[in-house]
Amino acid sequence: MSSMNLKILANPRLMTVMCLGFAGGLPLALTGSTLQAWFTEAGVDLVTIGALTLLGIPYTLKFLWAPLMDHFSLPFFGKRRGWILSMQFAVILSLLCLANLNPGTNASMMGIIALVVAFFSASQDIAIDAYRTDVLDTTERGLGAAYYVFAYRIAILLSGGLALVSADYIGWKITYYIMAALMGLSMLPAYLGPKVKEQPVHTNILKTMTASIGNLLRQEKIILLLLFIVLYKAGDALALSLMTNFLLHGLGFSLTEVGLAYKITSFVAIVLGAFAGGVLLTRWSVFQGLLVFGLAQAVSNLMFVLLAMSGKQFLLMAISIFIENFCSGLSTAALLALMMSLCDHRYTAGQYALLSAVASLGRVFLGPLAAMMVEQLGWVQFYTWSFILSFPGLIILLLLKDRVTAYAHAA
């Protein structure tokens, strides 16, 4: 690889974004699956454990307070890095408080503190997304998205998988101390990272909030663009919505087989796909990437049609999962690059948070529909429809070719 390519792939902006991806992913499992495991081991009742899923609410509603991070600047480190560092410090303190409690006797208090952790973590995500959008050049957005996804997934593997092993040997308290220490190390990239130029905003917070939304909605063909963002990964989201049920009950694989093939293979595949997509987007236009990766994502769903027809075949399952997640990683890199290009640098935090909320609609609301489709149609027809539902978004993309190209080349 030439020195020029190394400079492109490993410049300070991209390296900072990758490290911030680790910081963004680390707290997620600590208030999710890992915390559920801690409560389960402590003998907490199932209703209380089920209520822990509500800790995800701050991540879905973060667009409501995101404009505050566009409006207010902190005294040190600038607006973007200042908010990142502040939220990271708050996450660390909250995790230390959580570590010193026992779910057997303090379940309610732990739930409250975990909600605080989730709020600060979601707020960190807002600031990191804004910083990533502002600091990267237009040609780096796809690669930056890939680096972010890579480090984010590594962090989730660490806090969601290795943390359980650690707790088994040294206990939950020390494990959460270690996670807090890793979060502390994650502050270094934000502290040392490149500065971004701050854009002036209104002096009135309400004007900033209304201007943020108004600026986004006034963009040419914005309704079609928002519809495209909702539909682009709809087929992919539908295919993955009942994947565990399909593998366990539909085909009869064991938990171990699903754990090896689904969890590990999908992790490796989506990371490789995101990285490959990011590299290709340094040479391709965002429109070209969205189109080619979207087609690949659609075709990959046909692997599950073949799997549903073939029955329980471990190798075919592993190959199908790898191909689908690899293509999903490709399309994710392109979609994130487009979303970054749609943001006005004055309102990056609010606009990107809103766009990411729009992008998650399919993933959130397709679950009930998927269950009804499987009951009425069966698995083969269900995955055939996941293939078909991948195309409305691509048709809209063709209608938006000029606008997507224009936005992607904007500063």
pLDDT tens figures, 295-323: 999 999 999 999 999 989 999 998 998 99
What pLDDT, in 10s, does the model give residues 201-248? Answer: 767 778 888 888 888 888 888 899 999 999 999 898 888 878 878 888
pTM above 0.85, yes or no: no
Average pLDDT of the residues of the chain:
86
At position 140, the amino acid (one-letter code) is E
Instruction: Look at the block and give the residue holding tokens 């997507």.
Output: 404
Separation between Cα atoms, residue 50 and residue 32, nearest integer Å: 11
Number of neighbouring beta carbons within 10 Å of residue 151: 23
2: confidence class by pLDDT, cuts 50, 70, 90: very low
Tell which wins on pLDDT, 30 or 4: 30
Separation between Cα atoms, residue 142 and residue 164, nearest integer Å: 33
Residue spans per domain, the chain: 14-198, 209-408
Topology given in CATH for the domain delimited by 209-408: Growth Hormone; Chain: A; (1.20.1250)
* Alpha-carbon dihedral angle through residues 119, 121, 123, 125, given to the nearest 10 degrees: -150
Report, as an integer, the average pLDDT of 335-357. 88
pLDDT at position 45 over 70: yes
Sign of CA dihedral 179, 182, 186, 187: positive
pLDDT at position 125 over 70: yes
411: confidence class by pLDDT, cuts 50, 70, 90: very low
Topology given in CATH for the domain delimited by 14-198: Growth Hormone; Chain: A; (1.20.1250)
Instruction: Look at the block and give the residue holding tokens 């209520």.
Output: 51
